Amino acid sequence: MLIDKKWLAKAYRWSGLKSIIKVQAQVHDKSTGKDTAETRWYISSLDLDAAQALNAVRSHWQVESMHWMLDMTFREDESRIRKKQGPLVFNIMRKIAMTLFKQDTTKSASMARKKKMAGLDDDYRSTLLESEIKMR
C-alpha cells in the first residue's frame, strides 16, 4: 500500500516511510482524577495494517517502560561502565534483579525500596534468590 506523503513537509518525506500511525488515547490522571485526550503519532518503515500498528505501539511502550524502570531504579543511564563486556553484563544483572523484585510477593514495596532492602538485609536477599531457584 502506498501512502500519500504530499501533506508532509519535504523534510519529513523519508524515502523508506511506509506507515504513518495516529493513536488517539484517553488518559486518566489518578492524582487529579482528570481525563485528557492525547494524540500520538508514529512512523514506520513497515507496511502495517491497523492491528499490526497497534501491536507495534503497545510493544514499543512496554520496552520504554522497562527502560524507564532500569533508569529510575538502577540509574542505568548514569552508569560509567564502558569497557569490554561490562555494560552488557551489568544490563543483564539489572534485568535479573528487576525480575526478582517484580516477582517477589513477600514485601509490599516499590522496586526502589526492594532494591534497598535487598542491599541491607541478607535474609530478604536470600528469599529473592531462593524463590528464583524454586521457579526453575
Is 54 contained in some domain?
A: no
Q: For residue range 8-33, what is the model confidence (pLDDT) as tens digits?
A: 888 888 888 888 888 898 988 888 98
Report pLDDT for 36: 93
Task: Scan for cell 544483572, then name that residue.
Answer: 93
The Cα 7–Cα 131 span in angstroms is 56
User: For position 135, what pLDDT does the model report?
Assistant: 60
- What is the domain count for the chain? 1
The pLDDT assigned to 1 comes to 55
Q: Report pLDDT for 122.
A: 93
- Is 120's pLDDT higher than 90? yes
Residue 119 lies in a domain: no
| Position 99 in a domain | no
| 103 is a domain residue | no
pLDDT at 6: 80
One-character DSSP codes across the chain:
-----TTS-GGG--TT--EEEEEEEEEE-TTT--EEEEEEEEEESS---HHHHHHHHHHHHHHHHHHHHHHHHH-GGG----STTHHHHHHHHHHHHHHHHHH--S----HHHHHHHHHH-HHHHHHHHHHHHHH-
Residue 24 domain flag:
yes
Best CA proximity match to 20, nearest among 39, 48, 62: 48
Average pLDDT over residues 83-93: 89
Which tens digit of pLDDT belongs to each residue from 32-86?
Answer: 989 999 998 888 888 888 899 888 888 887 778 888 888 888 888 888 888 899 8
Domain that holds residue 8: 1-47
